[in-house]
Amino acid sequence: MSGPLTQAWGLLLPQSFLGSPVFAVLAAFVAINTVMYLALAIAKILPKVYLSDHLPNGNRRSETRSIHPDRTR
């Protein structure tokens, strides 16, 4: 026998719903988003690398920024 009677059902929806195109698109959409957030999560776990610390920098202060004008640096 075939037809809807033999179809496996979950709590509310037929199991075949999981094979429908809409569900496939939703699943892929969620998958991509989840992976995007995963990448950001991994970036947050890892220690941060400060590129500017390793680059030669001509940006050093040329005069003191202290409130004391006679301070050397």
Partner 1 sequence: MGRFQRAVGVVILGTAGLGALLLWIAIRSNGGAAAHAPRRGFVFGVWEVLYDTQAPSSRVLLIATGMALLFAAGVALLERRIATRARRSEDLHRLPLAPRIVMAETRGIYHGPVNVTVLVPAHNEAACIGDTIRSLQAQSHSPERVVVVADNCSDATESIALALGVEVFRTVENTRKKAGALNQVLRELLPVQDENDLVMVMDADTTLDPGFLEAAVRRMTADRALMAIGGLFHGEAGKGLLGQLQRNEYARYAREMKRRRGRVFVLTGTASLFRPRALRAVAAERGHSLPGVPGDVYDTIALTEDNELTLALKSLGGLMISPPDCTVVTEVMATWKALWVQRLRWQRGALENLGAYGLTPQTFRYWAQQLGIGYGVIALSTYLLLMVLMVLSLDHWVWFPFWVGIGAVFAVERTVTVWRAGPQARLLGAMLFPELVYSMFLDIVYVKGIIDISFARTAHWEHKAPAPAAQIQEPERA
Q: How far apart are CA 9 and CA 34, in angstroms?
A: 28
Residue indicated by tokens 């001509």: 58
Tell me: does residue 32 bind partner 1 (CB under 8 A).
yes
Which residues of the chain form beta strands (DSSP E)?
none
User: In the set 3, 4, 21, 58, which binds partner 1 (CB under 8 A)?
Assistant: 21
Q: How far is the CB of 2 from partner 1 (least distance, A)?
A: 18
8 binds partner 1 (CB under 8 A): yes
Residue 13 region, left (φ>0) first, then alpha (ψ -120 to 50), else beta?
beta
**Interaction site with partner 1 (CB under 8 A):** 8-15, 17-19, 21, 23-45, 48, 50, 63, 65-69
